[in-house]
Amino acid sequence: MELSERPSATGRHRKPRRAGVFGGTFDPIHLGHVETARFALAQGGLDLVLLVPAGRPWLRGEPPAASAEHRLRMTELAIQGETGLAVSDVDVMRPGETYTADTLADLRARYGDGVELVLVLGADSARSMDRWKRADELRRMCSVLVIGRPGEEWTNRLPLSHPASGAAYLEGPMLDVSATGLRARLALGDDVSDYLAPQVERYIRKHGLYGTGSAAGNKTGEEASMAQTASASQRLLERAKELGALEFGDFTLASGQKSGYYFDGRRLSLDPEGAHLVSQLFLEKIVAAGCEAAGGPTVAAVPIVGALALRSWQEGSGLTGFFVRPQAKGHGMGRQIEGSVKPGMRVAVFDDTVSTGGSLLEAIDAVQAFGCEVALVLCVLDRKQGGSDEMRRRGLPFVSLWEASPEGEVRVTEG
Ligand code: ATP
Protein backbone atom coordinates (compact mmCIF):
# COMPACT_ATOMS: atom_id res chain seq x y z
CA MET A 1 0.00 0.00 0.00
CA GLU A 2 1.31 3.41 -0.85
CA LEU A 3 0.94 5.89 1.97
CA SER A 4 0.34 9.45 1.07
CA GLU A 5 0.22 12.65 2.96
CA ARG A 6 -1.31 15.69 1.43
CA PRO A 7 0.11 18.97 2.64
CA SER A 8 -2.18 21.97 2.43
CA ALA A 9 -1.23 23.96 -0.64
CA THR A 10 1.09 26.41 1.09
CA GLY A 11 1.97 24.01 3.87
CA ARG A 12 4.71 22.05 2.17
CA HIS A 13 7.25 21.02 4.74
CA ARG A 14 10.54 19.24 5.18
CA LYS A 15 10.77 16.01 7.13
CA PRO A 16 9.37 16.85 10.58
CA ARG A 17 11.15 16.22 13.89
CA ARG A 18 8.01 16.26 16.08
CA ALA A 19 4.83 15.45 14.23
CA GLY A 20 1.37 15.65 15.78
CA VAL A 21 -1.07 12.91 14.76
CA PHE A 22 -4.63 14.18 15.09
CA GLY A 23 -7.10 11.45 14.14
CA GLY A 24 -10.86 11.72 14.02
CA THR A 25 -14.00 10.73 12.22
CA PHE A 26 -14.26 14.34 10.99
CA ASP A 27 -17.90 13.76 10.10
CA PRO A 28 -17.78 16.68 9.27
CA ILE A 29 -14.54 18.44 10.17
CA HIS A 30 -15.44 21.62 12.10
CA LEU A 31 -13.63 24.66 13.43
CA GLY A 32 -13.18 22.94 16.83
CA HIS A 33 -10.93 20.44 15.02
CA VAL A 34 -9.10 23.02 12.92
CA GLU A 35 -8.50 25.35 15.88
CA THR A 36 -7.29 22.42 17.97
CA ALA A 37 -4.83 21.38 15.23
CA ARG A 38 -3.57 24.96 14.86
CA PHE A 39 -3.19 25.30 18.61
CA ALA A 40 -1.32 21.99 18.93
CA LEU A 41 1.05 23.10 16.17
CA ALA A 42 1.72 26.50 17.74
CA GLN A 43 1.81 25.57 21.43
CA GLY A 44 2.69 21.88 21.44
CA GLY A 45 6.24 22.26 20.10
CA LEU A 46 5.29 20.43 16.90
CA ASP A 47 6.54 21.23 13.43
CA LEU A 48 3.72 19.40 11.65
CA VAL A 49 0.22 18.27 12.55
CA LEU A 50 -1.24 15.49 10.44
CA LEU A 51 -5.02 15.28 10.38
CA VAL A 52 -5.95 11.65 9.82
CA PRO A 53 -9.58 10.89 8.94
CA ALA A 54 -10.59 7.44 10.15
CA GLY A 55 -11.64 4.84 7.61
CA ARG A 56 -13.96 2.80 9.86
CA PRO A 57 -13.83 4.03 13.47
CA TRP A 58 -14.46 0.84 15.42
CA LEU A 59 -15.44 2.51 18.71
CA ARG A 60 -18.65 3.98 17.32
CA GLY A 61 -21.84 1.94 17.08
CA GLU A 62 -23.03 3.60 13.87
CA PRO A 63 -20.87 3.96 10.75
CA PRO A 64 -20.00 7.59 9.86
CA ALA A 65 -22.77 9.51 8.07
CA ALA A 66 -20.48 10.58 5.21
CA SER A 67 -18.22 8.27 3.19
CA ALA A 68 -14.49 8.15 3.90
CA GLU A 69 -13.84 9.88 0.55
CA HIS A 70 -16.11 12.81 1.47
CA ARG A 71 -14.56 13.11 4.95
CA LEU A 72 -11.05 13.03 3.50
CA ARG A 73 -11.93 15.70 0.94
CA MET A 74 -13.59 17.93 3.56
CA THR A 75 -10.50 17.61 5.75
CA GLU A 76 -8.29 18.69 2.85
CA LEU A 77 -10.55 21.65 2.18
CA ALA A 78 -10.65 22.67 5.86
CA ILE A 79 -6.87 23.14 6.10
CA GLN A 80 -6.29 24.46 2.61
CA GLY A 81 -3.60 27.13 2.67
CA GLU A 82 -2.50 26.38 6.28
CA THR A 83 1.22 26.13 6.95
CA GLY A 84 2.23 23.18 9.12
CA LEU A 85 -1.04 21.24 8.77
CA ALA A 86 -1.46 18.30 6.40
CA VAL A 87 -3.91 15.49 5.79
CA SER A 88 -2.93 11.83 5.75
CA ASP A 89 -5.04 9.15 4.09
CA VAL A 90 -3.33 6.21 5.86
CA ASP A 91 -6.49 5.26 7.75
CA VAL A 92 -8.81 5.70 4.80
CA MET A 93 -6.59 3.55 2.59
CA ARG A 94 -6.18 0.68 5.10
CA PRO A 95 -8.95 -1.90 4.81
CA GLY A 96 -10.87 -2.95 7.92
CA GLU A 97 -11.51 -1.11 11.15
CA THR A 98 -9.31 1.81 12.13
CA TYR A 99 -7.06 1.33 15.16
CA THR A 100 -4.68 4.09 16.24
CA ALA A 101 -1.87 1.53 16.75
CA ASP A 102 -2.02 0.84 12.99
CA THR A 103 -2.11 4.56 12.19
CA LEU A 104 1.05 5.14 14.21
CA ALA A 105 2.81 2.09 12.73
CA ASP A 106 2.04 3.25 9.19
CA LEU A 107 3.21 6.79 9.93
CA ARG A 108 6.38 5.47 11.58
CA ALA A 109 7.09 3.46 8.42
CA ARG A 110 6.47 6.59 6.38
CA TYR A 111 8.64 8.96 8.42
CA GLY A 112 11.29 6.63 9.79
CA ASP A 113 12.78 6.51 13.29
CA GLY A 114 14.01 10.11 13.35
CA VAL A 115 10.61 11.63 14.05
CA GLU A 116 8.80 11.80 17.39
CA LEU A 117 5.10 11.05 16.93
CA VAL A 118 2.77 12.93 19.26
CA LEU A 119 -0.81 11.73 19.45
CA VAL A 120 -3.07 14.80 19.72
CA LEU A 121 -6.44 14.15 21.35
CA GLY A 122 -9.38 16.13 22.64
CA ALA A 123 -9.97 15.54 26.35
CA ASP A 124 -13.02 13.33 25.69
CA SER A 125 -11.08 11.00 23.40
CA ALA A 126 -8.11 10.86 25.77
CA ARG A 127 -10.39 9.83 28.61
CA SER A 128 -11.79 6.95 26.55
CA MET A 129 -8.32 5.61 25.66
CA ASP A 130 -8.57 2.84 28.24
CA ARG A 131 -11.32 1.31 26.09
CA TRP A 132 -9.24 1.41 22.89
CA LYS A 133 -8.06 -1.81 21.33
CA ARG A 134 -4.29 -2.40 21.57
CA ALA A 135 -3.97 0.74 23.71
CA ASP A 136 -1.05 -0.85 25.61
CA GLU A 137 1.01 -0.73 22.40
CA LEU A 138 0.57 3.03 22.12
CA ARG A 139 2.87 3.93 25.03
CA ARG A 140 5.84 2.61 23.06
CA MET A 141 4.79 4.28 19.84
CA CYS A 142 4.08 7.90 20.72
CA SER A 143 3.71 10.54 23.37
CA VAL A 144 0.27 12.02 24.01
CA LEU A 145 -0.85 15.65 24.00
CA VAL A 146 -4.36 16.26 25.33
CA ILE A 147 -6.19 19.46 24.36
CA GLY A 148 -9.11 20.67 26.47
CA ARG A 149 -12.68 20.44 25.27
CA PRO A 150 -15.64 22.28 26.81
CA GLY A 151 -17.62 20.04 29.15
CA GLU A 152 -14.64 17.69 29.68
CA GLU A 153 -12.76 18.58 32.79
CA TRP A 154 -9.26 17.10 32.53
CA THR A 155 -7.45 15.60 35.45
CA ASN A 156 -3.86 14.43 35.39
CA ARG A 157 -4.67 12.06 38.23
CA LEU A 158 -5.60 9.14 36.00
CA PRO A 159 -4.70 5.62 37.22
CA LEU A 160 -1.20 4.69 36.09
CA SER A 161 -2.68 1.88 33.99
CA HIS A 162 -4.63 4.43 31.90
CA PRO A 163 -2.93 4.96 28.50
CA ALA A 164 -3.24 8.76 28.86
CA SER A 165 -1.87 8.89 32.42
CA GLY A 166 1.45 10.47 31.46
CA ALA A 167 -0.02 12.80 28.86
CA ALA A 168 0.79 16.51 28.52
CA TYR A 169 -2.28 18.74 28.77
CA LEU A 170 -2.99 22.17 27.28
CA GLU A 171 -6.32 23.90 27.63
CA GLY A 172 -6.50 25.10 23.99
CA PRO A 173 -9.13 27.18 22.20
CA MET A 174 -12.12 25.51 23.97
CA LEU A 175 -14.59 25.84 21.10
CA ASP A 176 -17.92 24.39 22.11
CA VAL A 177 -18.85 22.44 18.99
CA SER A 178 -19.32 18.78 18.08
CA ALA A 179 -19.81 16.98 14.78
CA THR A 180 -22.91 15.25 16.16
CA GLY A 181 -24.52 18.62 16.96
CA LEU A 182 -23.57 20.02 13.57
CA ARG A 183 -25.05 17.07 11.67
CA ALA A 184 -28.36 17.58 13.46
CA ARG A 185 -28.34 21.32 12.78
CA LEU A 186 -27.45 20.86 9.11
CA ALA A 187 -30.38 18.44 8.68
CA LEU A 188 -32.71 21.03 10.22
CA GLY A 189 -31.47 23.71 7.81
CA ASP A 190 -29.93 25.80 10.65
CA ASP A 191 -27.15 28.33 10.05
CA VAL A 192 -23.89 26.61 11.01
CA SER A 193 -21.51 29.00 9.30
CA ASP A 194 -19.84 29.95 12.63
CA TYR A 195 -18.58 26.38 13.06
CA LEU A 196 -17.55 25.24 9.58
CA ALA A 197 -14.90 26.55 7.18
CA PRO A 198 -16.85 28.14 4.27
CA GLN A 199 -15.31 25.77 1.73
CA VAL A 200 -16.37 22.77 3.84
CA GLU A 201 -19.91 24.09 4.18
CA ARG A 202 -20.11 24.66 0.42
CA TYR A 203 -18.88 21.09 -0.15
CA ILE A 204 -21.51 19.68 2.23
CA ARG A 205 -24.33 21.56 0.53
CA LYS A 206 -23.08 20.80 -2.96
CA HIS A 207 -23.07 17.07 -2.21
CA GLY A 208 -26.27 17.16 -0.15
CA LEU A 209 -24.48 15.63 2.87
CA TYR A 210 -26.07 15.33 6.33
CA GLY A 211 -29.61 15.85 5.03
CA THR A 212 -28.86 19.20 3.38
CA GLY A 213 -30.24 17.76 0.11
CA SER A 214 -33.59 16.90 1.71
CA ALA A 215 -33.65 20.17 3.69
CA ALA A 216 -33.76 21.92 0.30
CA GLY A 217 -37.31 20.71 -0.43
CA ASN A 218 -37.19 16.96 0.12
CA LYS A 219 -34.91 16.51 -2.86
CA THR A 220 -32.07 14.03 -3.17
CA GLY A 221 -28.58 15.53 -3.15
CA GLU A 222 -28.38 15.22 -6.93
CA GLU A 223 -31.82 16.74 -7.56
CA ALA A 224 -31.09 19.61 -5.19
CA SER A 225 -27.80 20.28 -6.91
CA MET A 226 -29.50 20.25 -10.37
CA ALA A 227 -32.15 22.66 -9.08
CA GLN A 228 -29.44 24.93 -7.67
CA THR A 229 -27.62 24.90 -11.03
CA ALA A 230 -30.80 25.83 -12.92
CA SER A 231 -31.57 28.65 -10.52
CA ALA A 232 -27.98 29.99 -10.66
CA SER A 233 -28.20 30.04 -14.49
CA GLN A 234 -31.56 31.82 -14.25
CA ARG A 235 -30.15 34.36 -11.82
CA LEU A 236 -27.19 34.93 -14.18
CA LEU A 237 -29.65 35.66 -16.98
CA GLU A 238 -31.52 38.16 -14.79
CA ARG A 239 -28.24 39.77 -13.78
CA ALA A 240 -27.26 40.18 -17.46
CA LYS A 241 -30.56 41.98 -18.09
CA GLU A 242 -30.12 44.20 -15.00
CA LEU A 243 -26.65 45.21 -16.18
CA GLY A 244 -27.73 45.85 -19.76
CA ALA A 245 -25.32 43.09 -20.79
CA LEU A 246 -28.29 41.41 -22.53
CA GLU A 247 -30.60 43.74 -24.44
CA PHE A 248 -33.45 43.12 -26.82
CA GLY A 249 -34.20 45.29 -29.92
CA ASP A 250 -32.92 45.62 -33.48
CA PHE A 251 -29.15 45.23 -33.58
CA THR A 252 -26.62 44.94 -36.41
CA LEU A 253 -23.73 42.71 -35.30
CA ALA A 254 -20.04 43.17 -36.25
CA SER A 255 -20.57 40.48 -38.92
CA GLY A 256 -23.28 42.67 -40.52
CA GLN A 257 -26.00 40.20 -39.45
CA LYS A 258 -29.23 41.47 -37.90
CA SER A 259 -30.17 40.25 -34.42
CA GLY A 260 -33.13 40.68 -32.08
CA TYR A 261 -30.82 40.81 -29.04
CA TYR A 262 -27.34 41.90 -28.09
CA PHE A 263 -25.15 40.17 -25.50
CA ASP A 264 -22.03 41.78 -24.02
CA GLY A 265 -20.42 38.88 -22.17
CA ARG A 266 -17.56 40.98 -20.83
CA ARG A 267 -19.90 43.27 -18.99
CA LEU A 268 -21.35 40.20 -17.30
CA SER A 269 -18.07 38.43 -16.45
CA LEU A 270 -16.53 41.67 -15.11
CA ASP A 271 -19.48 42.19 -12.78
CA PRO A 272 -18.86 40.76 -9.26
CA GLU A 273 -22.07 38.72 -9.15
CA GLY A 274 -21.65 37.73 -12.80
CA ALA A 275 -18.09 36.51 -12.13
CA HIS A 276 -19.30 34.63 -9.06
CA LEU A 277 -22.10 32.83 -10.90
CA VAL A 278 -20.24 32.08 -14.15
CA SER A 279 -17.27 30.65 -12.26
CA GLN A 280 -19.58 28.58 -10.03
CA LEU A 281 -21.53 27.16 -12.96
CA PHE A 282 -18.47 26.52 -15.13
CA LEU A 283 -16.33 25.07 -12.35
CA GLU A 284 -18.82 22.39 -11.33
CA LYS A 285 -19.00 21.14 -14.93
CA ILE A 286 -15.24 21.36 -15.43
CA VAL A 287 -14.53 19.42 -12.24
CA ALA A 288 -17.18 16.81 -13.15
CA ALA A 289 -15.39 16.33 -16.50
CA GLY A 290 -12.13 15.65 -14.65
CA CYS A 291 -10.23 18.59 -16.17
CA GLU A 292 -6.95 19.87 -14.75
CA ALA A 293 -6.89 23.18 -16.64
CA ALA A 294 -9.39 25.54 -18.22
CA GLY A 295 -9.14 28.56 -20.46
CA GLY A 296 -10.20 30.16 -23.70
CA PRO A 297 -9.48 32.74 -26.36
CA THR A 298 -8.55 36.36 -25.61
CA VAL A 299 -10.26 38.66 -24.72
CA ALA A 300 -13.65 37.29 -23.73
CA ALA A 301 -12.44 34.25 -21.76
CA VAL A 302 -9.81 36.14 -19.75
CA PRO A 303 -11.97 37.54 -16.91
CA ILE A 304 -13.69 34.16 -16.60
CA VAL A 305 -10.29 32.43 -16.30
CA GLY A 306 -9.37 34.74 -13.39
CA ALA A 307 -12.65 34.12 -11.58
CA LEU A 308 -12.36 30.35 -12.13
CA ALA A 309 -8.79 30.21 -10.82
CA LEU A 310 -9.83 32.03 -7.64
CA ARG A 311 -12.86 29.81 -7.08
CA SER A 312 -10.88 26.68 -7.79
CA TRP A 313 -8.41 27.69 -5.07
CA GLN A 314 -11.21 28.40 -2.61
CA GLU A 315 -12.93 25.10 -3.32
CA GLY A 316 -9.71 23.11 -3.53
CA SER A 317 -10.20 21.69 -7.01
CA GLY A 318 -6.62 22.52 -8.08
CA LEU A 319 -7.51 23.77 -11.56
CA THR A 320 -5.01 25.90 -13.46
CA GLY A 321 -6.11 28.66 -15.85
CA PHE A 322 -4.78 29.67 -19.27
CA PHE A 323 -5.69 31.85 -22.21
CA VAL A 324 -5.03 31.53 -25.91
CA ARG A 325 -3.91 34.39 -28.14
CA PRO A 326 -5.01 34.52 -31.80
CA GLN A 327 -1.34 34.13 -32.79
CA ALA A 328 1.90 33.45 -30.97
CA LYS A 329 3.47 36.64 -29.61
CA GLY A 330 6.27 37.98 -31.79
CA HIS A 331 8.43 38.87 -28.77
CA GLY A 332 9.27 37.56 -25.28
CA MET A 333 8.76 33.78 -25.03
CA GLY A 334 6.71 33.85 -28.23
CA ARG A 335 3.85 31.98 -26.57
CA GLN A 336 0.34 31.59 -27.96
CA ILE A 337 -0.94 29.90 -24.80
CA GLU A 338 -0.34 31.70 -21.49
CA GLY A 339 -0.47 29.97 -18.12
CA SER A 340 0.90 26.81 -16.50
CA VAL A 341 -1.10 24.38 -18.64
CA LYS A 342 1.07 21.47 -19.82
CA PRO A 343 0.92 19.05 -22.77
CA GLY A 344 -0.96 15.89 -21.80
CA MET A 345 -3.40 17.70 -19.49
CA ARG A 346 -7.13 17.19 -19.75
CA VAL A 347 -8.60 20.65 -20.32
CA ALA A 348 -11.84 22.60 -20.75
CA VAL A 349 -12.01 25.40 -23.32
CA PHE A 350 -14.66 28.12 -23.15
CA ASP A 351 -15.86 31.45 -24.43
CA ASP A 352 -18.62 33.76 -23.27
CA THR A 353 -20.59 33.47 -26.54
CA VAL A 354 -20.57 30.93 -29.36
CA SER A 355 -22.01 31.93 -32.75
CA THR A 356 -20.31 30.14 -35.63
CA GLY A 357 -17.57 29.18 -33.18
CA GLY A 358 -14.63 30.75 -35.07
CA SER A 359 -12.42 32.02 -32.22
CA LEU A 360 -13.32 29.13 -29.91
CA LEU A 361 -12.45 26.55 -32.59
CA GLU A 362 -9.13 28.29 -33.23
CA ALA A 363 -8.36 28.17 -29.49
CA ILE A 364 -9.32 24.46 -29.39
CA ASP A 365 -7.02 23.77 -32.38
CA ALA A 366 -4.15 25.58 -30.64
CA VAL A 367 -4.67 23.71 -27.35
CA GLN A 368 -4.87 20.34 -29.14
CA ALA A 369 -1.75 21.15 -31.19
CA PHE A 370 -0.02 21.96 -27.88
CA GLY A 371 -0.77 18.37 -26.79
CA CYS A 372 -3.78 18.74 -24.45
CA GLU A 373 -6.92 16.66 -24.49
CA VAL A 374 -10.02 18.86 -24.80
CA ALA A 375 -12.57 17.10 -22.56
CA LEU A 376 -15.20 19.84 -22.44
CA VAL A 377 -16.24 22.99 -24.32
CA LEU A 378 -18.39 25.58 -22.55
CA CYS A 379 -20.00 28.91 -23.18
CA VAL A 380 -22.46 31.18 -21.45
CA LEU A 381 -24.64 31.84 -24.50
CA ASP A 382 -25.00 29.56 -27.50
CA ARG A 383 -26.40 31.74 -30.28
CA LYS A 384 -27.21 28.54 -32.22
CA GLN A 385 -25.53 29.67 -35.41
CA GLY A 386 -23.62 26.48 -36.17
CA GLY A 387 -20.71 26.71 -33.72
CA SER A 388 -22.09 24.23 -31.19
CA ASP A 389 -23.07 21.79 -33.97
CA GLU A 390 -19.51 21.92 -35.28
CA MET A 391 -18.08 21.15 -31.80
CA ARG A 392 -20.37 18.14 -31.47
CA ARG A 393 -19.50 17.03 -35.02
CA ARG A 394 -15.87 17.01 -33.90
CA GLY A 395 -16.83 14.83 -30.94
CA LEU A 396 -16.27 17.55 -28.33
CA PRO A 397 -18.68 17.50 -25.36
CA PHE A 398 -20.36 20.92 -25.51
CA VAL A 399 -22.34 22.68 -22.75
CA SER A 400 -23.97 26.12 -22.75
CA LEU A 401 -25.64 27.88 -19.83
CA TRP A 402 -28.17 29.64 -22.07
CA GLU A 403 -29.26 29.30 -25.65
CA ALA A 404 -31.03 31.58 -28.12
CA SER A 405 -34.08 30.48 -30.11
CA PRO A 406 -34.42 31.38 -33.81
CA GLU A 407 -36.93 34.05 -32.69
CA GLY A 408 -34.23 35.73 -30.60
CA GLU A 409 -35.48 34.54 -27.22
CA VAL A 410 -32.68 33.77 -24.73
CA ARG A 411 -33.38 31.08 -22.14
CA VAL A 412 -31.58 28.79 -19.72
CA THR A 413 -30.42 25.62 -21.50
CA GLU A 414 -32.26 22.54 -20.26
CA GLY A 415 -30.65 19.17 -19.71
P1 ATP B 1 -18.84 13.54 17.38
O2 ATP B 1 -19.67 14.61 17.95
O3 ATP B 1 -19.49 12.87 16.18
O4 ATP B 1 -18.30 12.58 18.39
P5 ATP B 1 -16.45 15.16 17.34
O6 ATP B 1 -16.88 16.57 17.16
O7 ATP B 1 -16.06 14.72 18.72
O8 ATP B 1 -17.55 14.21 16.73
P9 ATP B 1 -14.34 13.59 16.17
O10 ATP B 1 -14.04 13.47 14.73
O11 ATP B 1 -14.91 12.41 16.86
O12 ATP B 1 -15.28 14.88 16.35
O13 ATP B 1 -13.06 14.10 16.96
C14 ATP B 1 -11.74 14.00 16.52
C15 ATP B 1 -10.82 14.54 17.59
O16 ATP B 1 -11.08 15.92 17.79
C17 ATP B 1 -11.03 13.90 18.96
O18 ATP B 1 -9.76 13.77 19.58
C19 ATP B 1 -11.89 14.90 19.70
O20 ATP B 1 -11.72 14.82 21.08
C21 ATP B 1 -11.35 16.21 19.16
N22 ATP B 1 -12.34 17.28 19.18
C23 ATP B 1 -13.52 17.33 18.54
N24 ATP B 1 -14.15 18.49 18.78
C25 ATP B 1 -13.36 19.20 19.61
C26 ATP B 1 -13.47 20.48 20.22
N27 ATP B 1 -14.53 21.23 20.05
N28 ATP B 1 -12.45 20.89 21.00
C29 ATP B 1 -11.35 20.11 21.18
N30 ATP B 1 -11.20 18.88 20.63
C31 ATP B 1 -12.18 18.42 19.86
Reported pTM: 0.58
Distance CA 400, CA 353 (A): 9
pLDDT tens per residue across span 338-370: 999 999 999 999 999 999 999 999 999 999 999
- Smallest CA separation from ligand 1 atom 22, residue: 122
Cis peptide preceding 299, ω within 30 of 0: yes
The pairs formed by 64-69 with CB atoms below 8 angstroms and a separation of 24 or more are 64/25, 64/27, 65/27, 65/183, 65/209, 65/210, 66/27, 66/28, 66/209, 66/210, 68/92
Return the pLDDT at 30: 98
* CATH class of the region 227-412: alpha beta
- Smallest CA separation from ligand 1 atom 27, residue: 32
pLDDT tens per residue across span 364-404: 999 999 999 999 999 999 999 999 999 999 999 999 999 99
Q: What is the mean pLDDT of residues 190-209?
A: 91
What's the CATH architecture for 5-179? 3-Layer(aba) Sandwich (3.40)
Matching fold, domains 5-179 and 227-412:
yes
Amino acid at site 301: A
Residue 229 has pLDDT above 70, yes or no: no
Distance CA 76, CA 200 (A): 9
Which atom of ligand 1 lies nearest, measured to the CA of 60? 4
Amino acid at site 415: G
Residue 216 has pLDDT above 50, yes or no: no
Q: Where are the domains of the chain?
A: 5-179, 227-412
Which atom of ligand 1 lies nearest, measured to the CA of 57? 11
Choose one of 79, 87, 91, 149 to mutate for the ligand 1 pocket test, by most ligand atoms within 8 angstroms of C-beta.
149
Return the pLDDT at 333: 61
pLDDT band at 223 (very low <50, low <70, confident <90, very high): low
Residue 8 has pLDDT above 50, yes or no: no
Which atom of ligand 1 lies nearest, measured to the CA of 124? 20
Return the pLDDT at 225: 60
Residue 230 has pLDDT above 50, yes or no: yes
- Smallest CA separation from ligand 1 atom 28, residue: 149
Residue 4 has pLDDT above 90, yes or no: no
Residue pair 8/79 in contact (Cβ under 8 Å)? The answer is yes
Residue 288 has pLDDT above 50, yes or no: yes
60 compared with 203, residue with greater pLDDT: 203
Residue 334 has pLDDT above 70, yes or no: no
Cis peptide preceding 7, ω within 30 of 0: no
Residue pair 398/391 in contact (Cβ under 8 Å)? The answer is yes
Which atom of ligand 1 lies nearest, measured to the CA of 176? 27
Task: For the chain, give the mean pLDDT.
Answer: 89
Q: What is the mean pLDDT of residues 153-165?
A: 86
Residue 135 has pLDDT above 60, yes or no: yes
Exposure string for 242-270, b = 16+ CB within 10 A, e = fewer: ebebbeeeeeeeeeeeebebebbbbebbb
Taking CB atoms and a 6 Å cutoff, what residues make up the pocket around ligand 1?
A: 24-27, 32-33, 36, 121-122, 124-125, 147, 149, 175, 177-180
Q: What is the mean pLDDT of residues 294-299?
A: 97
Q: What is the mean pLDDT of residues 296-307?
A: 97
Residue 80 has pLDDT above 50, yes or no: yes
Return the pLDDT at 3: 46
Choose one of 30, 34, 36 to mutate for the ligand 1 pocket test, by most ligand atoms within 8 angstroms of C-beta.
36
